[in-house]
Structure 1
Amino acid sequence: MYTPAAFRQDDLAALHQQMRASRLPTLISHGSQGLLASHLPLLLEPDEGEYGTLYGHFARANPQWRDLAEGSEALVIFQGAEAYISPSWYAAKAEHGKVVPTWNYIAVHAYGQAEVFDDAERLLQLVSRLSALHEAERPQPWAVSDAPREYIDSMLRAIVGFALPIQRLEGKWKLGQNRSQADQTGVREGLAASSEARDRELVAQMQHDQLAKEAL
């Protein structure tokens, strides 16, 4: 991922936090079947390996798992907050007019080679943990054990799991850090006034990033 120094995020805790917040990342691989991509909910084990390990599963009918089983490198993209940035928000527009639109965003890229597995008990543990994670805030969380075991067993035969130790991790927080303070203030005000929830999500992240830097 092209990442100018001003936008590079190297803090492992911040990277992991964003990875957890990205609920449906994209896993991309290139193998004997060409370039393939799948959108998958994943579990992050932060203490397994240097950068953590990702766990997930494919439908057995999805051919992508075969490329991973053959040793193809995988790229997992975790998309964070993003928003269009209008040049009209920059203080520099009134000063000299030499401004153009851009896009601010947060993204994390994780790279590694996966171990593929189809052991029933290991798959059961994985899907149980994934369900518990996403059901946690519901007043009456559903659990895998709520379904008949014979049915769950049949579902487990239809999937293939994987563990992906992260070998390389890149973070990009493109939040206008290369602009003047006046321009950054204008962007935050412009985003805060937007009716788009995604825009307000990004300005919250920009404010959080600014406060974190001031605390250093």
Structure 2
Amino acid sequence: MYNPPAFRETDTATLHGLIRAGRLAIMLSPSADGGLPDATHLPLLLDAEAGPLGTLHGHVARANPHADALRRSGRALVIFPGPEAYVSPSLYASKREHGKVVPTWNYVAVHAECDAEVYDDAARLRDIVTRLTDHHEAPRAERWAVGDAPDSFVAGQLKGILGVVLRITTLTGKRKLSQNRPEADRDGVRAGLAASEDPRDREVAAAMAGKA
């Protein structure tokens, strides 16, 4: 990921926070035929205490050929997209001063390079499915739990998936939030995005204000 110094985020705790804020990651790894990388969208849980940079846990469909490619390569790149917004030159104070401005995009992203393990142990699979379910059901008033389904049904469903453990070896964070612009331009972008009707724009404005 191209990452100029002005946009680099290197604090591990901050990067872990961005990972946890993401709901659906993108996992990439070398394909078996040497072509374009395999890609899978999947939710992942972070164990920040496992290893120097943490470990990610999730699962993929057993029928997904990505699992075999992941086994062979033993490596993966996981992308956690964060808030993003189009930045119009009209938001810059410098547009009114000299007009030498162009559009850009503000965004936050974390890339995690990982050593990968694929497993099919039923007990471990039930554990990660349970943990993922509990995590995402937690905000709901009426929560569903794995134990709400018949054990025989759950056992059958587990046969259709494979567990994935991704031990993070490198974390790269980017917070491109107009840091390279004059203060007046940054203020204009933040105010303009905060006033937007699009919640994605307002999320970027909050990130610029240090609130996300």
Shorter-chain TM range is: over 0.9
Alignment of 1:1-216 (within 5 A): 1-33=1-33, 34=35, 35-208=37-210
- Alpha carbons 1:107, 1:171 under 8 Å: kept: yes
Find runs of 4+ consecutive structure 1 residues off by over 4 angstroms. Answer: none
Identity of aligned residues (%): 55
1:140, distance to aligned residue in structure 2 (A): 2.1
The 2-side partners of 1:140 and 1:86 are apart by 42
The 2-side partners of 1:92 and 1:161 are apart by 52
Which segments of 5 or more consecutive residues in structure 1 lack a partner in the other structure?
A: none
1:31 is paired with a residue of what secondary structure?
A: coil
The CA deviation string for residues 146-167 of structure 1, in whole angstroms up to 9 with x for no partner, is 1000000000000000111001
Q: How many residue pairs get matched?
A: 210
Amino acid at match of 1:154: G
Which segments of 5 or more consecutive residues in structure 2 lack a partner in the other structure?
A: none
TM (norm. structure 2) is: 0.96
The 1-side partners of 2:43 and 2:79 are apart by 12
The 2-side partners of 1:36 and 1:27 are apart by 8
Amino acid at match of 1:28: L
The CA deviation string for residues 79-119 of structure 1, in whole angstroms up to 9 with x for no partner, is 00000000011111111111000000000000112111100
Amino acid at match of 2:205: V
The 2-side partners of 1:195 and 1:146 are apart by 39
TM (norm. structure 1) is: 0.95
The 2-side partners of 1:162 and 1:9 are apart by 26
